[in-house]
Amino acid sequence: MFEQVLFYAFSGLVLFAAVMVITVKNPVHAALCLVLAFFSSSGLWLLLEAEFLAITLVLVYVGAVMVLFLFVVMMLDINIAELREGFASYVPVAVLVAVVMLALLSTIVGHVNFGVDSIQGVVPHASDYSNTKALGMSMYTDFIWPFEIASVILLVAIVAAITLTLRKSRQTKSANPSNQVAVESSDRVRLVKVPSEPQE
């Protein structure tokens, strides 16, 4: 009973936030709605007894990814009127893309795979069951290759992104810390002994 109330509350919040993400005008508000959507879906995952995934969703997406998103979106100077220009001419293409995506999604998220009959409810585990441990065991034994390959791909992406941004230009000013630390007073200050004028 209580779980059902929670489920409908969180599901409603996810749907509401997701609709708000694509309808609100202000991009910062949209990003914050996305945060709410992530947060409520982590609540749904908690109801599925997947506490590791739920908390990691909050930790990674809400705590880090969306902060960087907001960081960028807040700095951008987005002109809404400019974005709205030529909306009418794009409508046919947009409708086509939407229909194709809807058709593709419905083949997967239809009643065949996600119907009430095809999904069993969550089997409650004993209180000493650790979702984190179970996930770690299957990830590092059964699925070690996909896991390693995915992490190598991510590593390549990180290296590529860093290489793209590491450009020396005349505009960037950076201090070399080892030079700063190595500075001695004799490099900066020269003490000159000036004899005083003899008194007349």
Partner 1 sequence: MPESILTITIIVIKILAIMLPLMAAVAYTTLIERKVIGYMQLRVGPNRVGPKGLLQPIADALKLMCKEFIIPTGSSRFLFLLAPVLALGPALAAWAVIPFGSEMVLADINAGLLYVLALTSLGVYGIIIAGWASNSKYAFLGAMRSAAQIVSYEIAMGFSLVGVLVAAGSLNLGDIIEAQRGSLGILNWFWLPLLPLFFIYFISGVAETNRAPFDVSEGESEIVAGFHVEYAGMAFALFFLAEYANMILISALTAVLFMGGWLSPFSWVPDGIHWFFAKTGLFLFLFLWFRATFPRYRYDQIMRLGWKIFLPITIVWVMVVAAMVVWKIPPWFSS
Q: Is there binding between residue 182 and partner 1 (CB under 8 A)? A: no
Q: Is there binding between residue 24 and partner 1 (CB under 8 A)? A: no
* Four-point Cα dihedral 155, 159, 160, 162, nearest 10: 140
The three state secondary structure string of 26-81 is CHHHHHHHHHHHHHHHHHHHHHCCCHHHHHHHHHHHHHHHHHHHHHHHHHCCCCHH
Q: Is there binding between residue 131 and partner 1 (CB under 8 A)? A: yes
Q: By CB under 8 A, how many residues form the interface with partner 1?
A: 25
| C-alpha distance across the termini of the chain, in Å | 104
Q: Which stretch binds partner 1 (CB under 8 A): 9-17, 70-78, 162-170, 191-199?
A: 70-78
Q: Return the number of other C-beta atoms located less than 10 Å from residue 20's C-beta.
A: 16
Q: Is there binding between residue 183 and partner 1 (CB under 8 A)? A: no
Q: Is there binding between residue 174 and partner 1 (CB under 8 A)? A: yes
Element (H, E) at 164: helix 144-165
| Pattern 28-67, partner 1, x by CB under 8 A | xx--x--x---------------xx--xx-xx--xxx--x
Residues within the interface to partner 1 (CB under 8 A): 28-29, 32, 35, 51-52, 55-56, 58-59, 62-64, 67-68, 70-71, 74-75, 130-132, 174-175, 177
